[in-house]
Amino acid sequence: MTDLDEQYLTAYAKTFLERHYNVKLTIPVVRNNRLRTSLGRFVVSANGTPLRIELSGNVLTYGAESVILGVLRHECIHYAFFKRGIFDTDGDPLFERALRKHRAPSSRTLKVGRFFRFQCVRCGSIGETTVKRVRQNPTSYLSKCCQANIELIGEKVYDGLT
């Protein structure tokens, strides 16, 4: 758990964008506890107005500080490209090169959050999930490997570094 609040994150993003892209940040960086599909995102309105950069509650709660700031730099680069009219995005060479240059993670390469670990009672293989329902009601789930019952064996928190 870190104490990076929205004000600090917005100031960090502002400095980063001015220093490296000579671009002014005019939107806030905010926490979004419902953001589950990614660790962060740059939100633009339907008519093309930048609205905000969001970081997931998940990454802010469980991520290491260096991981949080890396994810923020990733979103800042989206913002900078948008402001400069560059259409490259995740997966495109220009964008990926900028990520590497600023030591920002590629999309979906980081494991962050609280994972429940379970074991297949038949073959013993171990799986992990973030789905809370599995922990609350493991008897209603079957393992993928054997279609057998699963047993919860604990939980593990990942901070994105390990």
Report the interface residues with Zn ion, using CB under 5 A. 90, 107, 120, 122-123, 143, 145-146
Closer to Zn ion by Cβ: residue 60 or 110: 110
Judged by phi (left if over 0) then psi (alpha if -120 to 50, else beta), residue 73 lies in: alpha
User: What minimum distance in Å lies between the beta carbon of 117 and Zn ion?
Assistant: 14
Closer to Zn ion by Cβ: residue 18 or 90: 90
User: What minimum distance in Å lies between the beta carbon of 145 and Zn ion?
Assistant: 3
Radius of gyration (C-alpha) of the chain in whole angstroms: 19
User: What minimum distance in Å lies between the beta carbon of 101 and Zn ion?
Assistant: 15
User: What minimum distance in Å lies between the beta carbon of 149 and Zn ion?
Assistant: 10
Closer to Zn ion by Cβ: residue 12 or 74: 74
Closer to Zn ion by Cβ: residue 90 or 92: 90
